[in-house]
Amino acid sequence: KKLNIALCGLGNYAGMLAAGIEVSEYCNLAGIVTGTPEKAVKWKKQYNIPEKNIYNYQNFDEIANNKDIDLVYVVLPSGLHKEFVIRSAKAGKNVITEKPMAISAADCEEMIKVCNDNNVQLAIGYRLHYEPTHLEIKRLGQEKIFGQVRFIEASLGYQTYDILDKKTIVDKNNKSEWRLNKKLGGGPLMDLGIYCIQASRYVLGEEPIAVTAQFGTVNNKDRFSETEESISWQMEFPSGAVANCNTSCGYNIDRFYASADEGSFELSPALSYGPFVGKTSEKELKFPVINQQKTQLDEICKVLLENKKLPNHITGEEGLKDIKIINAIYKAAQTGKKVFIV
């Protein structure tokens, strides 16, 4: 049996997920949720989706009566994850939501509670938890293959908004520009920096206790009136390890470096869609290039099909941890002070 998935929000990343589902072993693209009627027509034809499994944002709650949908995958702007995760849970559907889980810790806590109350499982779309090169750096760090990791550098940045619309002037009402809108979950720390936080945490196998942070230069004041253009931050871990991280919408960067007592390991590209290139102080890191979306979906669906509990590192509690760290980083950048994470 395959798990029947409805994708909610049909933007860029939903397209990548749909391509992953097409080649997956354990799931099937059974439904869609979209606010754009033309997209409904296009996706219906392309993926052979029955009319009865197509919803818009108004009639979405009727999905509760649809036995042919097992799981909703929320791929909307991050500020809308909370509403649609809660509506999915109340409809009795298991739910995956994209990263970041939501835009505040209170929202994450509410999402976790509603999922628990409705007896549905919640996963966050942390695709790198299933990627072989990342599983290896996690092993190298956590099993201390080169001794204790003392220092990490992790950076991810894209000239995102230039790529989105190079020619048009800033238009915050333009849907493609939700990444400039604070309430919709904009800002590179939310969108990209989260990968640096995740990688530092899973390589060390520790939770940061304190952060310091600095906003970067704003080169485009029109575009970045609500959200940061760049931000750098440092995370201190209980072992004494430090992670120094950067994220930006103003420059391209995609790197990870870990320095340990008896060696080092690094990737570049490191956190994007790959293929990843890496080495340790001893040898090259060579792993098969996989379809990250297919692998992530298959692994999650396998667990759900067996009626088992999802592993801790992809659940809502994990999403909440990242949001608490993100909040602390913003606070540290705003105040110029070290912020302890509670």
274 part of the interface to ligand NAD, by CB under 6 A: no
Catalytic position from the list 55, 82, 93, 99 = 99
Catalytic position from the list 55, 158, 195, 330 = 195
Question: Is there a contact between 326 and 197 (Cβ–Cβ < 8 Å)?
Answer: yes
> Among 93, 127, 134, 321, which residue sits at the site for ligand NAD (rule: CB under 6 A)?
127
> Among 98, 136, 236, 254, which residue sits at the site for ligand NAD (rule: CB under 6 A)?
98
Task: Identify the CA nearest to 190 among candidates 248, 122, 263, 124.
Answer: 248
Q: Is 73 a catalytic residue?
A: no
CA distances to 85, 108, 141, 202 from 138, in Å = 29, 25, 5, 6
Interface residues for ligand NAD in 12-41 (CB under 6 A)?
Answer: 12-14, 35-36
**Interaction pattern, residues 190-209, with ligand NAD; x per rule: CB under 6 A:** -x------------------
Question: Is there a contact between 26 and 301 (Cβ–Cβ < 8 Å)?
Answer: yes
How does DSSP assign 181-197, residue by residue? -TTTT-SHIIIIIHHHH
Count Cβ atoms below 10 Å from residue 196 Cβ, excluding itself. 27
By beta-carbon proximity to ligand NAD, the closer residue of 125 and 316 is 125
By beta-carbon proximity to ligand NAD, the closer residue of 36 and 148 is 36
For the stretch 120-130, what's the b/e string if a residue is b when 16 or more beta carbons lie within 10 angstroms of its beta carbon?
Answer: bbbbbbbbbbb
Q: How far is the CB of 79 from ligand NAD (least distance, A)?
A: 8
269 part of the interface to ligand NAD, by CB under 6 A: no
Give the list of residues 6+ apart from residue 221 with CB closer than 8 angstroms, or none.
none
Number of residues near ligand NAD (by CB under 6 A): 22
Q: How buried is 235 (Cβ within 10 angstroms: 0-12 exposed, 13-18 middle, 19+ buried)?
A: buried
176 part of the interface to ligand NAD, by CB under 6 A: yes
Q: Is 158 a catalytic residue?
A: no
By beta-carbon proximity to ligand NAD, the closer residue of 12 and 159 is 12
Cβ-closest position to ligand NAD? 11
318 part of the interface to ligand NAD, by CB under 6 A: no
Interface residues for ligand NAD in 59-78 (CB under 6 A)?
Answer: 75-78
Give the helix ranges, DSSP H, for the chain: 12-22, 37-47, 81-90, 105-117, 132-142, 160-164, 188, 194-204, 292-305, 316-335
Residues near ligand NAD (CB under 6 A) are: 9-14, 35-36, 75-78, 80, 98-99, 125, 127, 175-176, 178, 184, 191
Residues known to be catalytic: 99, 195
